A and B are shown apart, each in its own frame.
Chain A
Amino acid sequence: MKAVGFAWRTLVRQPARAVLAVLGVAAAGALLLDMLLLSNGLVASMRDLLERTGWDVRVTRTGDAPRRGPRITSVAATLEAMSALSGVRSAVAVRAVDAAVETAAHTPLVSLLQGASGGAPPPWTVLRGTDARERGEVVLNESASAALEAEPGREVTVRASCATGDEALPPVQLRITGIAAFPFEIAREHMLGATLDTLAVVCGGGEAADQADIILVQSTGDPSAAAAAITAMRPDLRAVTNDDMVGRLEQNEFTYFRQISTVLTTVTLSFAVLLITVLITVSVNQRLGEIAALRALGFSRSRVVADVLAESALIVALGGLASLPLGMLMARWLDGILKGIPGIPAAMHFFVYEESTLALHIALLATTALVAALYPMRIVSRLPIAATLRDEVTE
């Protein structure tokens, strides 16, 4: 504690340089914190988003993302068979098609129409009004509602594109029953939700109601067992758990951010170590006479070494404390920039706070303080007392 008090007085004696050093550490620490938040942020956010939806197994034909692979056929029979499995609590089939929504006052609004089978909660949350449970009913997301200036009770005309871009399906009138939030909606994306029956009507009938892009399954508690049971029952389908999906995303799509985060973390730490080392070394060099005098007065070698370490620790600790709010503010700013990437769901974040991240941040800063103090500590520990005092007097 004595060493910390002494180091504090040393810093206070030179307030300008101390404040600048702390501010420098705060900026570097904020960048470090952000890079740590980024390294696992997207994966943590995706995991959180997947878990919040309540569905823990996703079934598709090929394992590709919905609408990128062939559709599941014979949906009604598949759902019935799945529901009979002991590990499955509920299942809902979902299909999405492109749709142009028309109103009397507006030009067609390009949007995505999701159809969900009945018998289980739909993959959206109703915010206002009621859910679209009957044929001819539809819910809109906030973005579509604002763009169309449409509220529950109004009707919209929908022209869908269900098979290829060349078809010309007839327009269908749908009644808006509510405004809903879709978990994976992209920022400013216009989305509609209805039943699979309604989607079949929009798609011109036929087998459209018995096809789906994905089946969302809620297990009774063991997603892996439920996925295995589904795969055993229907080997032509691919059932993946949320953990499988996150693992896949971790290994492929999001690796760039982890790599860039690792590179920037390394650069930031090296930068901070180098600069704190230089600052403390110059500071120590300016006080060599003073330190030698203290040694001559009876201060032990370990005590003056501890003073230098405490000075480094104080600068890093104060800067580190300031880096937390600064880092969180910066994270919001950088998150806003990165969410401009097309196709990123609005509810996802690149920078996600986790307790383990804060612990790692503290550990890295503590290491920085120690490593940065090593060289000046060496100078102080090897300081020849008599020679230094003589030099100070004769200079």
Chain B
Amino acid sequence: MVRSALVAPLLVCLLSSVAVAQSPTPSILIARQLAEAQQISVGAIVRLASKADGSDAREFVVAGIYEPTPDPARLGSIPNEVRLHLPDLLALTREAGEIAGAEHVSSINVALVHPSEASTFAADVNARLPGVLAMTAANAAGSAGPFLVIERFHRAIAIVTIAAATVFLLALTIMLVDERRETVGVLRLIGLPSRRILTQVLIEGLLVAAAGTMFGLVLAALSQQLINAFFQWRYDTALVFVRITREVALTATAIAVPLGTAATVIASWALLRRNALRLARR
């Protein structure tokens, strides 16, 4: 059932980097941000120590440079990290007098052959291994908590923005409809019923709202690239900040089109209730 296991990396103290070498020296991977900051390239020899004073440092060869998995909970902090093979890490951090094999690891990531059995597997581990807490990846993603709150915050901002936009839209449509009062008056005088004019206004409002929504979605799609590029540069992360998904586009459309259409109809309705002669009168 268990296919692979990977132990979470431990941040250790980077002491120095020296010339390129080919030797049985244990290998490590180094985070891109750290490699850039310290100008370390693949093949370089670095010395790592788990103690702040640098005692008991060991040499490692940089086998590769990796992009750290974006972590929303660590946004703003520079991931000065290296990844070691587990035996090398344990050897580096083992306290004097500690027996090899008695060390702790903080977590074990498990990839299942059948991911759908994650809950059953976690329950099985919890029942069989007291003192070990197994969680599905979805449950373990508690670190995303702050970002769920920020999502709620953004939703609240969106509600206020929609409210402000609706009020402005209504004001604008009232003015635009008022500009056409004479046309509407003449149409009614030549015999077109109010219902017919309202239908025409409804279709017109629908078309304008649909066109506006399309324009808004294209603008959002273009601006998402800009926003992501800016924040990824600002925080030096691969994290995606804005993503216009199909659901987001559908939600925006579901709000914008009826809202735009309704604003046009409401503004026109007030006009159509007036006397046709008064509307046509100059």
A residues contacting B by CB (< 8 A) are 16-17, 20-21, 23-24, 27-28, 30-31, 62, 252-253, 255-256, 259, 263-264, 268, 271, 275, 278-279, 282-283, 286, 330, 333-334, 337-338, 340-342
Contact = CB atoms under 8 A, between A and B. Distances in A.
Nearest to A16: B174
Q: Identify the 8 closest CB pairs spanning chains A and B, nearest first.
A: A27-B164, A20-B171, A24-B168, A24-B167, A340-B149, A275-B168, A341-B146, A23-B167
Interface stretch (B40-48, B153-161, B203-211): B153-161
Nearest to A283: B175
A392 to B, nearest CB: 10
Interface of B: 52, 75-77, 145-146, 149-150, 152-153, 156-157, 160-161, 163-165, 167-168, 170-172, 174-176, 178-179, 227, 231, 234, 270
A330 B160 contact: yes
Contacts of A263: 227
23 contacts: A16-B174, A17-B174, A17-B178, A20-B167, A20-B170, A21-B168, A24-B164, A24-B168, A27-B160, A27-B167, A28-B164, A31-B161, A31-B164, A252-B77, A259-B231, A268-B161, A271-B165, A279-B171, A279-B172, A282-B176, A334-B157, A340-B149, A341-B145
A282 B165 CA distance: 17
Given A31-B164, A275-B172, A341-B146, 7 more contacts: A20-B174, A23-B167, A31-B157, A31-B160, A268-B161, A279-B168, A342-B146
B175 A286 contact: yes
B243 to A, nearest CB: 16
B145 A342 contact: yes
A16 to B, nearest CB: 6
B203 to A, nearest CB: 22
A337 B155 CA distance: 10
Contacts of B227: 263
Contacts of B52: 62
A340 B149 CA distance: 6
A286 B164 contact: no
B175 A17 contact: yes
A86 to B, nearest CB: 30
A256 B145 CA distance: 16
Contacts of B161: 31, 268, 271
A16 B145 CA distance: 44
Contact of A282 (B77, B172, B231): B172
A255 B234 CA distance: 10
Contacts of A341: 145-146, 149-150
A27 B163 contact: yes
Contacts of A16: 174, 270
B102 to A, nearest CB: 11
Contacts of B75: 256
A333 B231 contact: no
Given A342-B145, A342-B146, A256 B76 contact: yes
B160 A30 contact: yes
A271 B176 CA distance: 19
Contacts of B175: 17, 279, 282-283, 286
B21 to A, nearest CB: 32
A286 B163 contact: no
Contacts of B170: 20
A283 B231 CA distance: 40
Q: Which one of B146, B153, B164, B178 has the highest number of Cβ atoms from chain A below 10 Å of its Cβ? A: B164
A253 B164 contact: no
Given A30-B160, A271-B164, A342-B145, A337 B172 contact: no
A265 B150 CA distance: 17
A192 B153 CA distance: 32
Contacts of B168: 20-21, 24, 275, 279
Contacts of B160: 27, 30-31, 330
Contacts of A342: 145-146
B265 to A, nearest CB: 16
Contacts of B149: 337-338, 340-341
A23 B171 CA distance: 10
Contacts of A271: 161, 164-165
A278 B169 CA distance: 10
A263 B227 CA distance: 9
Contacts of A24: 164, 167-168, 171
A98 B138 CA distance: 26
B156 A337 contact: yes
Contacts of B171: 17, 20-21, 24, 279
Contacts of B270: 16
